[in-house]
Amino acid sequence: MANTRETVNAPSRSRKDTTLSRRYIEGLISEGKHVIIFENRVLKVDAWIPYHPGGDKSIKHMVGRDGTDEINALHSKEARQRMLSYQIGRIEGPWLNFLPPIQGGKFRPYSEDASSTDEYSSDQESSNPPSPVFDAADSKPGLRRRKSTSTDTSVSSPESEESEPKPFFLDARTKEEIRFDTAKYPSLDQANQDSIRQKYRQLDQRIRAEGLYNCNYFSYFIECCRYTLFAALSYLFLRLGWYGTSGFFLGCFWHQLVFSAHDAGHMGITHHFHVDSVIGIIIADYLGGLSLGWWKRNHNVHHIVTNAPEHDPDIEHMPLFAISHRFLTSLRSTYYERIMAFDAAANFMLRYQNYLYYPILMFGRFNLYRLSWEYLLCGQAPKKGPAWWHRWFELAGQVFFWTWFGYGVLYCTIPDWNSRILFIMISHMVTSPLHVQITLSHFAMSTADLGVHESFPQKMLRTTMDVDCPTWLDFFHGGLQFQAIHHLYPRIPRHNLRRTQKLVLEFCRDTGIPYALFTFVDGNKEVIGRLGDVAKQVRILEECRKSCAEQGVFSDHH
């Protein structure tokens, strides 16, 4: 199993078939290489990162891991075939995941004279910190686990003990959440998780055999009829001078359009990258003023590290919302590459977040404009590869949108500022059920980290809930009510998700993984309850701080 540098210099064909040791792969990662395991192949994807349409962050979260299920779920057959050109070798037997450098993993340089007994020693040392489930929570490797969240994949120098925050992730609350999840969900031992993976892949084959990846284009004809109706009603009332009513129907138009943009972003309509990208950009940018490219970069990471407080941008809304007590420790976001400070503003806002939840979400679309322009103007869009031209197509779309909406409708058609503000606020607030729907699927679910041993399907089902609704209401939810199923198989067209639900329920019964299903009302209650729970913790911390300040005692309070 020992490998030398000369092995990598072998002819191309033999090089790709060479068996690489775990220790050698660890050494490559220690040098800053982006190495991923895919179907027992070792891929070094450094050269692909600048070309990846979904950005670099999603790749970095897969470094050192077996990304087979994630790659198959999120990529087309053509994209998966293209990845094989980056193969540098193979592995033998099951792969034990490393903790990626972006998540704090440490890796040792490779030594050619390392003995074979050193092969798996990294599991107990720095490159693969122990799971909080399998190892004592107070052990030193566990403490090292979160000390570095550097976004650079090279080894970062250890930080001094004095410069680090107290390990709040090991507090009683975190331990309680981990114990709760490990008791509720299947065992994390490797044999059990491998069995879940195999059944998940078998289910994928069954879904394909039943044609559930095939798009029902007649359903999209019905969608287009609905879009046209809302757009026509908005235009009609705009011409009649009923600006509030016109804004309402424009909001309905935007609300429904986003669902199809979501489908296109996952290549769930034609399954062709460029065709679906054009459809999505026309919908999102030209008609809605939002960037599809920003959404894809954000959403790909969300699908891989769902509900991870340090890594998932979809739950990182400080200082407005915090769905975990861990946000109260000023975590560093690896996506935004900044500290999510628990400062005075957060201390105030979070105490009332369960009351502010719906009012804030009514203004959610304005924040999406900001994020879209930040993505397009600040160099976050891919400059190379198959999506190099998307940024320019999107910028043209933004000009088009603000021309017809900003100039044509707001400035030229609506006569006064009172009517303009009314039109803007109503049209934007009507889209707020979409933001409720998106947050509903995750805000009330687990944010606990069960370690690198957990399988992809179990993690998706543990961190995502579905919403139970009658079939006739599916148009209102736009497929987002099947978020758990969508996270398992993101490229299934949304009109087939209800049929897929029956197969996923069988999978959950077979594997023993709980399937979270709530009504829309009960789901909202769960979310408000979670927000209220964290708000209560904020108030307790503030009372403790005030008590300490009054008594002049700090050392006994942690």
The reported pTM is 0.86
Residues 318 and 75: beta-carbon distance below 8 Å: no
Quote the radius of gyration of the chain (alpha carbons, Å): 25
In this predicted structure, the answer to whether residue 485 has a pLDDT above a threshold of 50 is: yes
In this predicted structure, the answer to whether residue 550 has a pLDDT above a threshold of 90 is: no
d(CA 394, CA 388): 11
Q: Note the pLDDT of residue 125.
A: 44
Half-sphere exposure in the Cβ direction for 184 (13 Å, CA)? 18
Instruction: Read off the tokens for 72.
Output: 């198959």
Indicate the pLDDT class of residue 118, thresholds 50, 70 and 90. Answer: low
Tell whether the torsion through CA atoms of 421, 422, 424 and 429 is positive or negative: positive
Q: Note the pLDDT of residue 145.
A: 38
DSSP states along 168-228: GGGSHHHHHHHHHHHHHS---SHHHHHHHHHHHHHHHHHHHHTTTTS--HHHHHHHHHHHH
Instruction: Read off the tokens for 120.
Output: 């798996």
Q: Report the number of secondary-structure helices (H) and strands (E) in the chain.
A: 24, 7
Indicate the pLDDT class of residue 9, thresholds 50, 70 and 90. Answer: very low
d(CA 224, CA 487): 25
Using the 8-state DSSP alphabet, how is residue 19 labeled?
A: B
Instruction: Read off the tokens for 215.
Output: 């798009």
Instruction: Read off the tokens for 38.
Output: 């895919």
CATH 3.10.120.10 positions along the chain are 15-98
In this predicted structure, the answer to whether residue 135 has a pLDDT above a threshold of 60 is: no
Nearest to 83 by CA among 113, 51, 128, 115: 51
Instruction: Read off the tokens for 95.
Output: 């792969």
Q: Residue 87: which H helix or E strand, with range?
A: strand 87-90
pLDDT one-digit tens code per residue, 305-345: 999 999 999 999 999 999 999 999 889 999 999 999 999 99
Partners of 317 in the β-ladder: 321
Instruction: Read off the tokens for 541.
Output: 């911390």
- Taking residues 430-437, report their average pLDDT: 92
Helix axes 432-440, 364-377, angle to 10 degrees: 80
- Taking residues 1-5, report their average pLDDT: 41
Half-sphere exposure in the Cβ direction for 196 (13 Å, CA)? 27
Helix (H, G, I), strand (E, B) or coil at 236: helix
Q: Note the pLDDT of residue 10.
A: 40
- Taking residues 50-63, report their average pLDDT: 90
- Taking residues 275-298, report their average pLDDT: 95
* Per-residue buried b or exposed e for 385-414, using 16+ beta carbons within 10 Å of the residue's own CB: eebeebbebbbebbeebeeebeeebbeebb
Q: Note the pLDDT of residue 77.
A: 86
pLDDT one-digit tens code per residue, 370-397: 999 999 999 888 888 888 999 999 999 9
Indicate the pLDDT class of residue 553, thresholds 50, 70 and 90. Answer: low
d(CA 545, CA 551): 10
> What is 15-98's CATH number, 3.30.390.10, 3.40.50.1000, 3.40.50.1240, 3.10.120.10?
3.10.120.10
Q: Residue 8: which H helix or E strand, with range?
A: helix 5-8
Indicate the pLDDT class of residue 147, thresholds 50, 70 and 90. Answer: very low
In this predicted structure, the answer to whether residue 226 has a pLDDT above a threshold of 50 is: yes
Helix (H, G, I), strand (E, B) or coil at 89: strand
List of residues 6+ apart from 198 with CB closer than 8 A: none
The residue whose two tokens read 């005030």 is: 546
Q: Note the pLDDT of residue 227.
A: 96
Residues 237 and 214: beta-carbon distance below 8 Å: no
Partners of 36 in the β-ladder: 43
